[in-house]
């Protein structure tokens, strides 16, 4: 069984160590994860690992868990080839992907993965389309900047990345209400930041976070 504070220690210490050290720690935790049989302990460990403040490691983590392979140096030649669920269940991978998106440095990683590996995700969740829809809507709802919300085009029209994605992916089995809620959540996030950004900056400055 994994020590109770193990994943918390990893997440906290990784904020204070160099990238190479974090990578080494992550690999050790990955190998430890292979030996864990208890579902709750495995989930706790995976969630703790998503707190790494390093985009490259988070990106590699997705492919490691997607494929089920652990390779030294995270060799993508091996990681690209399978969606093996003998190591991690589809629902657990969904949780992992969402937790990475909730990491301040992980949102771009998760969103870019969803877009670039859409066909792979369709195969992985062909028997559980609700889970795939939940992944997309949850990740999208975390957007907090206008660059994410609106992708300027060369023509007059300006489209939301999220709206455009929903339009293009007709195979995404999710209700129109869920899509609309995700878009509204982005707008709410942006409005809140616009209304509170100055007070947040003042608080940070007065508390020594310049």
The two structure tokens encoding residue 101: 């998106």
Most confident among 64-73, 92-101, 121-130, 182-191 (mean pLDDT): 92-101
Using pLDDT thresholds of 50, 70 and 90, give the confidence band for residue 205.
confident
pLDDT at 35: 78
76 within some domain: yes
pLDDT of 19 > 70? The answer is no
Using pLDDT thresholds of 50, 70 and 90, give the confidence band for residue 79.
very low
Indicate whether 119 and 205 sit together in one domain: no
Indicate whether 77 and 146 sit together in one domain: no
pLDDT at 166: 66
Q: Which of 148, 34, 163, 146 is nearest to 101 (CA)?
A: 148
Using pLDDT thresholds of 50, 70 and 90, give the confidence band for residue 60.
confident
pTM score of the predicted model: 0.61
Indicate whether 98 and 170 sit together in one domain: no
147 within some domain: yes
Examine the fold and report which residue of 68, 93, 125 is the final residue of a domain before the chain moves on. Answer: 125
Examine the fold and report which residue of 101, 125, 149 is the final residue of a domain before the chain moves on. Answer: 125
158 within some domain: yes
**How many domains is the chain built from?**
2
Examine the fold and report which residue of 125, 140, 170 is the final residue of a domain before the chain moves on. Answer: 125
pLDDT at 9: 43
Indicate whether 135 and 103 sit together in one domain: no
106 within some domain: yes
Indicate whether 150 and 178 sit together in one domain: yes
Using pLDDT thresholds of 50, 70 and 90, give the confidence band for residue 71.
very low
State how far the Cα of 65 lies from the Cα of 131, in Å rounded to an integer: 16
66 within some domain: yes
Per cent of the chain over pLDDT 90 is 0
**Residue 110 to residues 31, 39, 158, Cα–Cα distance (Å):** 23, 23, 23
State how far the Cα of 88 lies from the Cα of 173, in Å rounded to an integer: 23
Please, which residues have CB within 8 angstroms of residue 181's CB and are 6 or more apart in sequence? 137, 141
Indicate whether 115 and 91 sit together in one domain: yes
User: Residue 116, class by beta-carbon neighbours within 10 Å (0-12 exposed, 13-18 middle, 19+ buried)?
Assistant: exposed
Indicate whether 120 and 183 sit together in one domain: no
- The pLDDT tens digits for 98-128 are 888 888 888 888 888 888 888 888 888 877 7
pLDDT at 160: 56
Mean pLDDT, range 7-20, rounded to an integer:
46
187 within some domain: yes
- The pLDDT tens digits for 129-159 are 788 888 888 888 787 665 555 543 332 232 3
Using pLDDT thresholds of 50, 70 and 90, give the confidence band for residue 58.
confident
181 within some domain: yes
Residue ranges making up the domain that contains 151: 128-209
Indicate whether 203 and 137 sit together in one domain: yes
Indicate whether 36 and 116 sit together in one domain: yes
26 within some domain: no
Give CB contacts under 8 A, 24+ apart, made by 109-114. Answer: 109/55, 109/58, 109/59, 109/62, 110/62, 110/139, 111/139, 111/140, 111/148, 113/59, 113/62, 114/139
């Amino acid at each position: 069984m994994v020590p109770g504070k193990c994943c918390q220690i990893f997440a906290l210490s990784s904020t204070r160590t160099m990238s190479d050290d974090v990578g080494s720690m992550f690999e050790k935790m990955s190998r430890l994860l292979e030996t864990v049989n208890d579902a709750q302990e495995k989930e706790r460990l995976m969630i703790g690992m998503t707190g790494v403040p390093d985009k490259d490691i988070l990106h590699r983590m997705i492919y490691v868990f997607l494929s089920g392979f652990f390779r030294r140096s995270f060799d993508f030649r091996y990681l690209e080839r399978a969606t093996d669920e003998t190591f991690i269940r589809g629902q657990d991978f969904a949780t992992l992907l969402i937790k990475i998106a909730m990491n301040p440095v992980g949102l771009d990683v998760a969103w870019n993965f969803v877009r670039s590996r859409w066909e792979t995700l369709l195969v992985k969740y062909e028997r559980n389309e609700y889970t795939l829809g939940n992944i997309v809507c949850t990740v999208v709802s975390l957007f907090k900047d206008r660059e994410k919300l609106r992708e300027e085009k060369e023509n007059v029209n300006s489209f939301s990345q999220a709206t455009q994605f929903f339009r293009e992916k007709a195979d995404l089995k999710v209700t129109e209400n869920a899509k609309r809620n995700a878009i509204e959540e982005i707008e709410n996030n942006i409005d809140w930041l616009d209304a509170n950004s100055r007070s947040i900056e003042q608080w940070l400055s007065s508390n020594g976070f310049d």
